Amino acid sequence: MSHNIYWDADQSDVLHIDLNGVTTWDAYHEIINAAFERVEATQQSVYAILHDRGTKPPEGPLPHFRKTIARAYATPNLMLAVSVDSHFPAFFARMVKVVLDIYFLNRPNKVPYVTSEAEAYAIIATHRQQRARSS
């Protein structure tokens, strides 16, 4: 397994979570829990970028994604957890987002899905600007 959790070298408030090689949901939750522990161990605001490079466990993802998103909403210093998956068909990503948005009705989108790291950084930059304007 080649997963990794690391802080961004240029942006100290960005935590990268590399899910490459995760083939079971138990392994997925182990990595996600370790990442949340890192976020919760700091007082600063944190932006997470989840890199998912294609391998997914065979069982359905929604209960596992729902659990992760619920924890994201329960972690006050986690500003966004942007999921980057270039292998995830855009249509399916939008459908998963719609289902999860219905489940987490009336909450800001804390876990957007994108298909590139550049998109993830753009969303983070926009979020930082919005936070700065509202402060």
Cα angle for residues 51, 55, 58 (degrees, 5° grid)? 130
What's the pLDDT score for residue 1?
45
d(CA 61, CA 123): 24
Q: Using a cut of 0.85, tell me whether the model's pTM lies above it.
A: no
Candidates 65, 67, 40; CA nearest to 50 is 65
pLDDT of residue 33: 95
Sequential pLDDT tens for the chain (135 residues): 467 899 999 999 999 999 887 888 898 899 999 999 999 999 999 999 998 765 677 777 778 888 888 899 899 999 999 988 766 555 566 666 666 666 655 566 787 878 889 999 999 999 999 989 987
